[in-house]
Amino acid sequence: MLVLTLESSCDETSAAIIEDGKKILSNAVASQIPVHARYGGVVPELASRNHIRDIHPVIDQALERAQKTLDDIEGFAVTAGPGLVGSLLVGVETAKGLAFAKDRPCVGLNHLEGHLTTVLLDLDEVGTPEFPYVGLIASGGHSDIYIVHELGDYTLLGRTRDDAAGEAFDKVAKMLGLPYPGGVEIDRLAKTGDPAAIDFPRPMWTRKNLDFSFSGLKTAVLQHLEEHGIPEGQALNDLCASFQEAVVDVLVMKVMTAAHQNDIGRVVLSGGVACNSRLRQAMRAAGDEADVDIFIAPASLCTDNAAMLGAVAEFYLQQLDAPGFTSHGLKARGSMPLGVSKRTKARTHR
C-alpha cells in the first residue's frame, strides 16, 4: 500500500510517502525553529499559522521526491494527538480533505506510537527489533517507557511526573542564555566539558518505579547559578556536561532496569532527545554491558517527522473493511494516552 502520512503536532510540518509500511520514498519537513527562536520556545498560535502556510508545500515536496501524484496514494494517515490542538487541526483537516477528495481511507495516529515504531521501517544501518521490545520516548513533552508487544499493543511502564527530559534541556539552556533550541547547544558545549565537574542530583534514582522527574534537577541547576553566577568558557562547558550526564544517567538506568525486570533483550530509543550524542553513546555502552540489543533511528527520524508514522499507518489502514473514504470520526486531540499502565493492569487483576 502507498500511504501519505502527515505530522503537525508541534512545530514541524511534515509529509512522507511510505510504501508497504516499510520503505520511505520521501520525507519532507518544514521546521519552524527560526520562527520561535526569538521567543525561546514554541508559541502555539504562531505554530498553527505556520502549519497552515507550510502544509501543502511539504505535501507537494513529498510527492515530487517520491515521483508520485495524489492519484497514486492508496491511504492517508495523520497524527491526531497528543500535541498542540491548533497545530494538530491543520494536519487532521488536511488529511481528511485529501482523503475525501480522492475517496481513500484516512486514519488518525498517536504521535507516541510513531516514535516507538520508527525502527520498524527499512533502516539498513539500524536493524529491526523483534517483538517484544522496551521503548523509551525521550522528547520535549515526554519521558515514557513502554513495552511494545506488537503493533497496536503497548504497556506503559513509566512516565515523567513533571518536566520531560527535553523540556529540562530547553529550560536549563534558557537559564544559561543559550540560543534556541537549547538541547542542541548543551550537547555541543558538553562535548568539551567535564561531566564530573558538578555533582548534580540524579532524580528518582533510588525509587523502585520507572517514572521520571526532572524538575528537581532543573532547580538544582538554578540554585547553582544563583550561587556561582552564569559561567563562561570552560566552566560553561563543564556545567553543560554535568547537567547532561545527570539526565543521561537517569534515562539509561531506568530503561535498562525496565528491560531487565521484564526479561526483554531489546531496547529502542526514540524522540527528539534521542538525537543527543551522549545519550546515544551511553545507551549503546549500557547495551553492550548488559547484552541487550539497542536500536536507535537516525537523528533525522528521531525529531518529529511524518515518515515515523509509516509502520503504524500501514497497520491500521490494513484493518479497514473498504478502500473508499472513511475517517471514523477522526479529530485532533491535545491529550491522547497510549497503551495500558502496568500498574492499572495489576489493580485490575487483583
The CATH fold of domain 127-296? Nucleotidyltransferase; domain 5 (3.30.420)
Query: What is the model's pLDDT at position 42?
Result: 95
Mean pLDDT of 74-85: 98
Q: Domain ranges in the chain?
A: 2-116+303-338, 127-296
CA dihedral 77, 81, 84, 90 (to 10 degrees): 20
> Half-sphere exposure (CA, 13 Å, Cβ side) for 346?
5
CA 286 to chain centre: 21
Mean pLDDT of the 280-289 span: 99
Question: Which pLDDT band, with edges at 50, 70 and 90, does 124 fall under?
Answer: confident
**Quick one: average pLDDT of 119-130?**
94
- pLDDT on residue 348: 30
Residue with the larger pLDDT of the pair 339 and 133: 133
Q: Which residues contact residue 130 at a Cβ distance below 8 angstroms, ignoring those fewer than 6 apart?
A: 266
- Name beta bridge partners: 18: 3, 24
Q: What DSSP assignment string belongs to 212-254?
A: B--HHHHHHHHHHHHHH----HHHHHHHHHHHHHHHHHHHHHH
- Count the helix, strand and coil residues of the chain and give each as a percent rounded to the nearest 5: 45, 20, 35
217 residue type, one letter: L
DSSP bridge pairs for 250: none
Q: Which residues are annotated as a binding site?
A: 111, 115, 137-141, 170, 183, 187, 276, 304
pTM of the model: 0.94
CA distances from 305 to 16, 281, 286 (A): 8, 23, 28
- In eight-state DSSP terms, residue 160 is B
Binding-site residue numbers for Fe cation are 111, 115, 304
Q: Which CATH superfamily is domain 2-116+303-338 in?
A: ATPase, nucleotide binding domain (3.30.420.40)
pLDDT (0 to 100) of residue 327? 78
Q: Is the pLDDT of residue 349 over 50?
A: no
* Residue list, annotated binding site for substrate: 137-141, 170, 183, 187, 276
d(CA 29, CA 306): 8
For the beta carbon of residue 219, count every other beta carbon within 10 angstroms.
Answer: 13
Average pLDDT on 45-51 reads: 98
What is the Cα 178 distance to its own chain's centre? 23
- Does residue 335 have a pLDDT over 50? yes
Q: In the beta sheet, which residues pair with residue 149?
A: none
- Mean pLDDT along residues 81-105: 97
Q: Is the pLDDT assigned to residue 269 strictly greater than 60?
A: yes
Residue 345 pLDDT grade (very low, low, confident, very high; cuts 50, 70, 90)? low
β-bridge partners, 155: 147, 340
pLDDT at residue 346 is higher than 70: no
Question: 222-250 pLDDT, tens per residue?
Answer: 999 999 999 999 999 999 999 999 999 99
Query: What is the reported pLDDT for 195?
Result: 99
Q: What is the pLDDT of residue 266?
A: 99
Task: Name the amino acid, one letter, at 321.
Answer: D
**Residues written for the chain:** 350
Question: Tens digits of per-residue pLDDT, 294-316?
Answer: 999 999 999 999 999 999 999 99
Nearest in space to 116 (alpha carbons), one of 339, 322, 325, 279: 339
Question: What average pLDDT score do residues 111-123 get?
Answer: 98
Share of the chain above pLDDT 90, in %: 92
Q: Is the pLDDT reported for residue 350 higher than 50?
A: no
Of 6-15, 262-271, 334-343, give the lowest mean pLDDT range.
Answer: 334-343
* Long-range pairs for 329-333: beta carbons < 8 A, 24 or more residues apart: 330/78, 330/80, 330/92, 330/95, 330/96, 330/106, 330/107, 330/108, 331/80, 331/92, 331/108, 332/80, 332/81, 332/83, 332/85, 332/88, 332/89, 332/91, 332/92, 333/80, 333/81, 333/82, 333/85, 333/88
pLDDT on residue 343? 53
| Average pLDDT over the chain, rounded to an integer | 95
Q: How far apart are the first and last CA of the chain?
A: 43
15 pLDDT above the threshold of 60: yes
